[in-house]
Amino acid sequence: MFTGPQIAELLEQLGVTHVVTVPDSTIGPWQAAIEQRERTRLVRVCREGEAWEVAAGLHLGGASPLVMIQCTGLFESGDAIRNVLHDWKLPVFAIIGYRSYLNQDTLPGDTCLVFTEPVLDAWKIDYHILTKPEQFGSIAEHFSACRAASTPGAIIVAEGGA
């Protein structure tokens, strides 16, 4: 839906210093463009729970991190999200790929469609779902609103298959 250069340029403009990530087939290809930016560094981690806590350390250290993962990784991240967003009250922002959202007819059995939104609600994450390329501007809008309010938030990017 979005290209790597589009995302990389936007994140740099928004002042994101580190993108902490585990890839999927939609957000993974953005890595190359992010790595080319001078002011945004890519940090690769082994599992998504780590990503939130690395972002917590970055935030405590004065940086402006962003977590970039798939919704499967959101499921993996529960205890870290609880700790970072709710215990320590750190305003970490995330971009999360919503697997199979755009393929509901061909992939009706993907349980990501069943659990992603309830899990986001359970963790009290203020999220916007983007389903069309024309909604690109919403990323900056929601990110900036969350930053101004010093609250966590997420952009959920609708994806095709796994």
Partner 1 sequence: MPEKDALVAIHGARGPRDVVITTMCAARDWMTLPQQPLDLVFVPSAMGHATSVGLGLALAQPDRRVIVCNGDGSMLMNLGSLVSIAGAGARNLVVALFDNGVYEVTGSQPTPAPGCVDFAAIARGAGFESVFEFSHLESWQTNVHRTLTCPGPTFIWLRVEPAVGVPGPRSPGPAGERARRFRDALRS
Please give the residue ranges that form the binding site for partner 1 (CB under 8 A): 17-18, 20, 41, 43-47, 49-50, 53-63, 65, 79-80, 82-84, 87-90
Q: Torsion over CA of 152, 158, 159 and 162, rounded to 10 degrees?
A: 60
Between 17 and 138, whose beta carbon lies closer to partner 1?
17
- Minimum CB–partner distance for residue 161 and partner 1 (Å): 26
- Minimum CB–partner distance for residue 37 and partner 1 (Å): 16
- Minimum CB–partner distance for residue 43 and partner 1 (Å): 6
Query: CA separation (Å) from 146 to 30, 104, 149?
Result: 23, 30, 5
Between 56 and 156, whose beta carbon lies closer to partner 1?
56
Contacts of 96 (CB under 8 A, 6+ apart): 68, 69, 70, 71, 73, 74, 116, 120, 127, 154, 155, 156, 157
C-alpha to C-alpha distance for 109 and 20, rounded to whole angstroms = 29
Between 78 and 160, whose beta carbon lies closer to partner 1?
78
Q: Which residue has the tokens 């402006």?
A: 64
- Minimum CB–partner distance for residue 49 and partner 1 (Å): 7
If you count them, how many residues does the chain have? 162
Between 153 and 157, whose beta carbon lies closer to partner 1?
153
